[in-house]
Structure 1
C-alpha cells in the first residue's frame, strides 16, 4: 500500500470505538536500522483528557494495528 493511500484513513480504536484522527495528521516512527515502523504518533484531540493527562500526542505501537481497511485503520489500544 502506498503512503498516500494510508494517509486518507481514519484511526479507530477497537476497545472503545474512539476515533483518534487521520493517518495524514500523524507521524510514523521508523527504526533506522531495520526500516520497520515502530509507532504511529497521533495528535491527542480530546481536550478534556489532554488537560488531565498533560499530553499532546498518543504513541500507538505498530503491533496494535489489527486491520487496515478501505476507509479506516482498526487498532486495539489501551490509552491508559
Structure 2
C-alpha cells in the first residue's frame, strides 16, 4: 500500500463539505457509495433527511454526487465541488 492510499475504514469518519456553499453533510459513514459492476466508485448518495409528515410514512431524500466532484480528500475532510444539489434529488426507492 502506498503512503497516499487511504482505507475506507479511515475515511468513513471524514466530514463531507461542499466548497460552493460551505455546507457540511456529515461524515461519509452516514451516506451511501454507489459502485459499478467493475468496483469503481460512481457516486456518493448524500442523505438529506426525511421528507413528509412526521406522523405518517416518510421517505428519505438523497442527492447523487458524481465521484469526479470530489476535489480533495484531506486529513479529516472530503471536499466536493457540486452546485446542483437541489436539482439532483432522488427518493430512496430510486437506487
TM-score by length of 2: 0.70
Partners of 2:60 and 2:80 lie apart in 1 by 20
Higher relative contact order (CA 8 A, sep 6+): 1
Unaligned runs of 5+ in 1: none
**Which of the two has greater helix per residue?**
1
Which structure has the bigger radius of gyration? 2
Q: Deviations for 1:27-77, whole angstroms, at most 9, x for unmatched residues?
A: 111111x221000111104x7xx56xx861111110000000011100000
Residue in structure 2 matching 1:69, options 58, 74, 79: 74
Aligned to 1:5: 10
**Which of the two has greater strand per residue?**
2
Query: Runs (4+) of structure 1 moved beyond 6 Å?
Result: none
After superposition, residues 1-80 of structure 1 pair within 5 angstroms as 1-32=6-37, 34-45=38-49, 56-78=61-83, 79=85, 80=87
TM-score by length of 1: 0.82
Q: How many residues align?
A: 74
SS in 2 for 1:24: helix
Cα distance change on mapping 1:15 and 1:44 into 2, 3 Å = same
